[in-house]
Structure 1
Amino acid sequence: MNPTDYFDKVIGREGGYSNNPADRGGETMWGVTAATARAFGYAGPMAQMTRDTAIAIYRSRYWTQPRFDQVQAVDADIAEKLLDIGVNMGPATGVQFMQRALNVLNQQGKAFPDISTDGGIGPMTLAALKAFVDQRGNDGRRVLLGMIAALQSVRYVEIAEKNPSQETFEYGWQLNRALGVAA
């Protein structure tokens, strides 16, 4: 799948302009926070940010910079999941979920070495992902994707437990994010 198709799916889930006082991300347009838009160089009103600008931000900040394009070369569904988590929780978070899962799926280092859970896609993480997928095939892909989704789900629960105002978003997070994106 073309990355723009993934971005369109994220935008479809995120919707247009939002400025919900309970949303920790603050003011957003197409799922892009004002802080992220400003860091990217967008200076206009958030409600007027174009979809094309949002896609450019997604491509740079949430696809190319975290190297999800390289993950896509190994497994497209996992790359899509990492993109979605990245937009909602920051790019490193989904990568850490994947790294943690790979570390407990490596047969105590017999299948491939443990990797750092640093949240970055580097040569060791890519090698571990490729080794796992090569060894376990489609069943392994489903297991890994399920584990990433489970960790994402738990993170959402922890957010709402820590800050009850976030319970407003919990059902939607679980339905549309943890369970709804390639899970």
Structure 2
Amino acid sequence: MDVADLIDEVIAREGGYSNHPADRGGPTHWGITQAVARANGYVGPMQALPRAQAVAIYRRLYWDQPGYGFVAELAPTIAAELFDTAVNMGVSTATGFLQRALNALNRNQQDYPDLKLDRVIGARTLGALRAFRALRGAAGERVLFKAIDAMQGERYIALAERRPANEAFLYGWLANRIG
């Protein structure tokens, strides 16, 4: 698994320019919202956002800064899921899903101490992931992936329930982001 491949997959899934009236994110290109593009120095029209700039934003904000490369060294499938979830829901949400799942799967702290839900990949989170992976192996990584996916799916449904305009996106979120 290579982060460049993950970014290519996200860009392929997100497509080109969009300005859907129900999307609170406003205009997007390559899946990058106008607000994110502006916060990262892009000042031109969203239709003209260079793909290379979108790639750099994805790598910096959704891979390097949250430390998902460190997760990839231990559990590549989990790192890929965190990256995809972070792009769609935010880094703190994605990392929080991992921490919550690790806490729920530690058998009442028999395997490793509970994590503080600080939504940051740090030494304790990596230590818990390392302990979980050592105990449960590849099969455990699949279960951890399912737990993160379940939280993501529940969040999508809740978003559609709270804001009916989000129903325009729910089918695509579930079809393209879960599993």
TM-score > 0.5, shorter chain as reference: yes
SS where residue 93 of structure 1 aligns? helix
Alignment of 1:23-172 (within 5 A): 23-172=23-172
SS where residue 73 of structure 1 aligns? helix
Shift of 1:178: 1.8
Tell me how large the CA RMSD over aligned residues is.
0.7
1:7 aligns with 2:7: yes
Distance 1:72 1:164 in 2: 36
**Sequence identity of aligned pairs in percent?**
51
Aligned residue type for 1:152: Q
Deviations 1:140-183 (A, max 9, x none): 0000000000000000000000001100100100010023xxxx
Shift of 1:119: 1.2
Distance 1:146 1:25 in 2: 28
Could you state the TM-score of these two structures normalised by the residue count of structure 1? Answer: 0.96
SS where residue 21 of structure 2 aligns? coil
User: What stretches of structure 1 of length at least 5 have no aligned partner?
Assistant: none
Distance 1:47 1:129 in 2: 40
1:19 aligns with 2:16: no
Equivalent residues, number: 179
Shift of 1:116: 1.3
Distance 2:116 2:45 in 1: 40
Distance 2:118 2:26 in 1: 27
Distance 1:72 1:121 in 2: 12
Q: What stretches of structure 1 move > 4 A for 4+ residues in a row?
A: none
SS where residue 74 of structure 2 aligns? coil
Distance 2:38 2:118 in 1: 26
Distance 1:24 1:151 in 2: 22
Aligned residue type for 1:3: V
Aligned residue type for 1:40: N
Could you state the TM-score of these two structures normalised by the residue count of structure 2? Answer: 0.98
Aligned residue type for 1:18: S
